[in-house]
Amino acid sequence: MSEISSAEIRAKVDEVYRTESRRVFATLIRLIGDFDLAEEAMHEAFAAAVEQWHRDGIPANPRSWLVSTGRFKAIDHIRRRVRFDEAQLEVAQRLESIAGLNADKSDSEVEDDRLRLIFTCCHPAIAPQVQIPLTLREVCGLTTEEIASAFLTSPATMAQRIVRGKSKIRDAGIPYVVPDRADLPERLDAVLTVVYLVFNEGYSASSGDSLTRKDLSEEAIRLGRLLLGLLDDPEVKGLLALMLIHESRREARSTANGDLILLEDQDRSLWDQDKIREGTALVEQAIASGEVGSYTIQAAIASVHAVAPRGA
């Protein structure tokens, strides 16, 4: 094996952090059942990766390695505490009892952990004004400042909401599960709202140097696909269609200097026709169902713009 420099390893770890950290966090939440401990364990796992990947090489499945390492970091953290209360003992025993679980789980099962975490953050027991900020912070990794900017409030106020949400999940014993099919409809509106807000933050970033954040837009679309696989609902199709059609214009939306280009002035040859076709087909399916909601209506309007040969 060729020698990999420290700089290359750090660059790889940074790349994995950008693409996988929230997935690692979501799985650790399921295994540990504690937001703060999972967050700490995740960061310790990434810190360990810088040293161990340089010594042992980059693992074939970095995300699985990080989850396993994070789980053991959490166990070590609990053991270091001088006094164990009953809840901490339960966490430690649960973590040790599933030592081989992560290696046995398929990628598709691990993917579902983020969906579980979204439904947890959008549980009816959590106040509506807390559900969305909590999900944006814990599931999607937006900073408190970014979320506060999107909601036109102060970072301190937003931080208090997020802390209240995490405390509610802990104190009420809200489970980290996707609800039963019978309970999905009443939970769906909040989840769709969250997914759309994630997409909007990627489509038009509220802070930072970049006009857009492609990673967030892609994450919202991926979550939309997961939801559609879980529930064949017209509004899920409408939302996914709306995101796909908007995302199809990404390459034409800004100049090389980062300035916004209005829809009528965009180079339509740059639009992603595959996304437009997929989005338009989903719109047609949603309308054909006879249950037309707001996302489907918006997607239908976006589809008309997307297939028009000229802005006029």
pLDDT > 70 in the chain, percent = 86
pLDDT of residue 66: 94
Q: Which residues contact 179 (CB under 8 A, 6 or more apart)?
A: 119, 187
Distance CA 214, CA 243 (A): 12
pLDDT class of 86 with cuts at 50, 70, 90: low
User: Phi, psi at residue 260, to the nearest 5°?
Assistant: -70, 135
250, amino acid identity? R
pLDDT at 75 over 80: yes
pLDDT at 267 over 60: yes
Distance CA 24, CA 42 (A): 7
CB-based contact 174:120 (threshold 8 Å): yes
pLDDT of residue 63: 92
pLDDT of residue 50: 92
Instruction: Give the tens place of pLDDT for each residue, 195-219.
Output: 898 888 777 655 445 556 777 888 8
CA 238 to chain centre: 19
Which position has the higher pLDDT, 87 or 215?
Answer: 215
**Mean pLDDT score of the chain:** 83
Cα angle 43-126-71, degrees, rounded to a multiple of 5? 25
Instruction: Give the tens place of pLDDT for each residue, 270-311.
Output: 999 999 999 999 999 999 998 889 999 999 999 999 988 887
Distance CA 117, CA 223 (A): 12
Which position has the higher pLDDT, 151 or 164?
Answer: 164
pLDDT of residue 102: 41
Q: Is 81 left (phi over 0), alpha (psi -120 to 50) or beta?
A: beta
CB-based contact 34:73 (threshold 8 Å): no
pLDDT of residue 96: 52
Q: How many helices (H) and strands (E) does the chain have?
A: 14, 0
- What global pTM score does this model have? 0.70
Which position has the higher pLDDT, 215 or 107?
Answer: 215
pLDDT of residue 105: 42
Residue 95, H or E segment: helix 86-97
Instruction: Give the tens place of pLDDT for each residue, 236-254.
Output: 999 999 999 999 998 888 8
Distance CA 196, CA 182 (A): 23
Angle 107-121/184-203 helices, nearest 10 degrees?
100
